[in-house]
Each structure stands twice: as C-alpha cells, then as structure tokens.
Chain A
C-alpha cells in the first residue's frame, strides 16, 4: 500500500490530504469538501492544472490581454502550452471568453481571454 500526503489546491483552505492507494482503490482523508476528494484522485493518477498567462494585443487600449486554458490540462503539457501562448498575439477588440488559441498544444483545450480590451 502506498500513502501520499497532499495539500489540496482547490481553494485557499489548503486542506492537508492523505491518500491511501491500494491497487485500484484509493481512500482520501482530510478533505472538507468533494473538491478535495476529486483533486486527490486526479493528483495521484494524472495531475492537471489551469495555466494562465497574457498575450500581446494589436491596436488595443492595453498592451496585453490576460488568458487561461479553458479547462485544466495535464501538468506535463504546461511548458508546451506556454510555448504556443508566447508566440501568439491578438487583434483588439478582445472580450472575456474569446478563443485566443484553439486546441492548444494538441490538448484539445482552447486558450481563452480573461479580460476585455477595447480597440483604440
């Protein structure tokens, strides 16, 4: 049996989690909500993260627009995703939720804007 100690990153409470892994079965303790249970199982099997960054805007009221992966992506893909984000620029106007990159780094997950930037 394997035991792993984790800190839940689901919310700022940061619950200390204990995961007991026995073959296919997993037991999670220390979580205050279901989010913690989900996080622990995912973190043990295939950890994922939301990636946030910002990209240049052409013709906007601001230089940069903030962006994020629409869903969480495999942890191992973070730097490939950043590589694509760094190469990207968008034209103003941009609205929250606009797709900036479709299917980023082959994850099937789009990069979307998280800020409104008006055209000037």
Chain B
C-alpha cells in the first residue's frame, strides 16, 4: 500500500492553499488528489474579477487567482494526481482511490485534509411544478458551459435565486447578448453580496424581485415560459400575484451544499446547520488527524478566506504529522451561536493549545440593522462591535485572542450572538 504523510482530497483553492502551507511547515510527503482534469477547482470557471484583494492586495479574476496557487504548488514540487476520484476513506486513514492509470488503489495517510468543496442545489431539491424541458440549468453549470466549453446557453433568461453565481451569470449572459428578464428570490433579502447586486443587476437594469418564486415552467421540449408569483411570510405563493415571462432558459442559483459523502463515510460528527464537519480551532474533525477547510467545511463568499482557512488546516495537519502524539492537558471550550448567529466555525476551541488568536467565522439568520456582535465568556461580555447591516449572505467573523482567556481558568463556554443594544 502506498503511504503518504498528508493526503489532500481536492485540488481547488482550499486543497492548493493547504498543500502549500503543509509544505512550508516542513512536510515533504504530500499528495493532492483531484477528480477534474486540472487544478484550480471552481475558480477556473469564475472568470469575473474581484478575487485576491485580501490575499494578494490586487484584484484578480478566478483563473488568475488559481494560477497563483498552482504556481506555488509547482514551485514546491508538490505531487498531485488529476482525473483521480477518492471513493472511500476510513478511520484508519486509508484512502481508496480510482483513476485510469493506477486502477483501484489504497493509500495510507498519516493525516487527511478534506477539501472537496461544495456543489449546487439542483432542481430536484425544489418543488417546482412543470415538465422537464431542456433549458433549465443550475447557474454554475451554465457558467461552465459558457466560460470553459464555449457554448451559448440561452437568449431569454429568468433566474431563480439571487446567490452570487446567479447574479454573476445575470451579467455574464447579458454581456453575451442574452436578455435577462428578471431575478426572482424566495427570501425577502438577497443571498448574494451587495456589490454583486450593484454591478451585475443594477448596472444592466435587471429587476430583482424579492419574496418571489417560480410557480410554473412551460414548454415540453425546451422552456418557452416561466410563471413567477409573490410569496407570503410562510414562503407560499400568493394566488393572484402570478406574472408570466416568455423565455428559453431558467437558471437556478438556490444554494450550495458542502460535498461531504466522504466525511460521512468515516462517521465524523457533522453540523446540521453548515452541512459540514464539526471542527476544533485546529480545523480538525472528530476523527483524529482528519482536517477540513474551504467550502466542504462551510460555504464561503470569498476565496481569500478559503485560502486563509486552508493555510491553517495545512499548517495544523503538518504539526499533527510531526508531533505524532496525542495532546495532553486539553481545556476544550464549546462555542455557542445564539440570538441571530446561526453557527460558528470552529465549534470548539482548546484554550491550552490554541494559536495566539483564532478567527471564528459565522453567518447570521436574517437581515439585521444596527446590531452588535457580542462575545461572552461564561456569561460575561468580553467584546461588542456595532454593525450597520448584517445579512445571511455575508459571512462575519470575530477574532478571539489567547491572552483574553487568562482571567477565565475554568471557562466552559463562549457565546457569540447579536444584540440590539
């Protein structure tokens, strides 16, 4: 059986940054496994700009951002296998892999980094009545068809869902000469970044209809029209509010789901809210030596934060391989998300072994105005920061410093919450 110190599953932005960090932390024997024919993952089809301001202090497109990390991986001579699918991992950290060259093989890893990313929620997950004609695509599929494979997707378009990919595709299709008639969003707020509403919809006069959903798809061979309707607070369509749009294409941008089939096969603890593994401040899952980062852990808005998170996972996996012994004298504290904060990543923190500071990322449950983000240690308020606007579409973070725990030797829990005053 082949043996490697660190096996990284996924060669997208998370896997690449984790690999570079693990190598910089002194681990020579690393292998990246990627099921696609090239490294870079979803960045390859994200040809728009806006990536890298945080990491590289300049504005890059997706392929340029990916290329920066691919160059680092090549420069470090980190091995990777393309067109290679991981089909199983187990608690003994045996990774079962299949590809055309090697057939079915098993690799023994000392540490595993989960970096499989996420996938789009498909039409089947929504209850949209109607036939199944051609012309219905998830936004990311349409993006790949246009930007990588060079196909024209449609001429008259309705988009359901205002996630960032849907907004980006509204602009992309408009630039390619299509008419995007409307973007319908079920929720009373957009799931995308504000800047994308401005530069993808407002710039081109594309209407965004909040609290609206698709109630009918017409056409048998190809989509010929879409009916949308307003929804009430119960998110059910309101009779009499139907509007019809003739179109040949419906794009769905209705959410992303972390791709955790492999994580489940080891039986690690999963968060029901993020649909990703539960992790400690080292980004280690409940299976010792198995780390997670990027969109497989929780869906991000920004690749820069994926790279940052993956760098941490790579560094910690390297440390795990090097030390090779279980930690003693742990003081594990639970992080609780309360009052409008939906979840936190990480979910636990080891006060005795944490880095000097830990970045806790989270999302809020609804759109809030003029609220504080507060942190409590065992019921005592430690910090509060005022935010003009908080929205579920924009990930937030707080930084916890190790020194702040000095006065709390018996700390049991940390609460992160929103507060009106």
Contacts and interface: CB of A to CB of B under 8 A. Distances in A.
Interface of A is mostly: mixed
A116 B197 CA distance: 30
A34 to B, nearest CB: 13
Contacts of B147: 54, 64, 66
A51 B80 CA distance: 33
A51 B171 CA distance: 10
Given A7-B194, A49-B199, A52-B61, A12 B50 contact: yes
Interface in A70-103: 75, 78-79, 82, 86, 96
Contacts of B301: 12
B61 A16 contact: no
B175 interface: yes
Contacts of A16: 194, 388-389
A58 B43 CA distance: 22
A51 B302 contact: no
Interface string B130-173: 00000000000000001111100000000000000000000000
A116 B388 CA distance: 42
Interface size class of A (residues with CB under 8 A): 20 to 34
A67 to B, nearest CB: 8
Contacts of A66: 47, 61-63, 147
B378 interface: no
Contact of A7 (B146, B149, B198, B394): B198
The winner among A14, A63, A86 for most chain B CB atoms within 10 A is: A14
A19 interface: no
B67 A116 contact: yes
A11 interface: yes
Contacts of A75: 203
A66 B149 CA distance: 11
Interface in A36-52: 49-52
A78 B50 contact: no
A67 B301 CA distance: 23
Nearest to A6: B198
Contacts of B177: 82, 86
B175 A56 contact: no
B47 A52 contact: yes
A62 B47 CA distance: 14
B63 A114 contact: yes
B49 interface: yes
Contacts of B50: 11-12
A62 B203 contact: no
B64 A96 contact: yes
A54 B194 CA distance: 25
B398 interface: no
B149 A64 contact: yes
Nearest to B60: A114
A54 B143 CA distance: 11
A50 B59 contact: yes
A8 B195 contact: yes
B388 A7 contact: no
A44 to B, nearest CB: 14
A51 B176 CA distance: 12
Interface in B207-229: none
A9 interface: yes
Contacts of B61: 52, 66, 68, 114
A78 B64 CA distance: 22
A102 B44 CA distance: 24
Complex A-B, nearest 10 residue pairs according to Cβ-Cβ distance, in ascending order: A14-B194, A66-B47, A115-B63, A63-B150, A9-B195, A114-B61, A14-B195, A64-B150, A7-B198, A11-B53
19 contacts: A9-B195, A9-B199, A11-B54, A12-B50, A12-B195, A12-B394, A16-B194, A52-B49, A54-B146, A54-B147, A54-B148, A64-B148, A64-B149, A66-B61, A68-B47, A75-B203, A79-B175, A114-B63, A115-B67
Given A10-B53, A11-B50, A66-B147, 19 more contacts: A7-B197, A7-B198, A9-B195, A11-B195, A12-B394, A14-B193, A14-B198, A50-B59, A53-B176, A54-B47, A54-B146, A62-B148, A63-B150, A64-B149, A66-B62, A79-B175, A96-B63, A96-B67, A114-B47
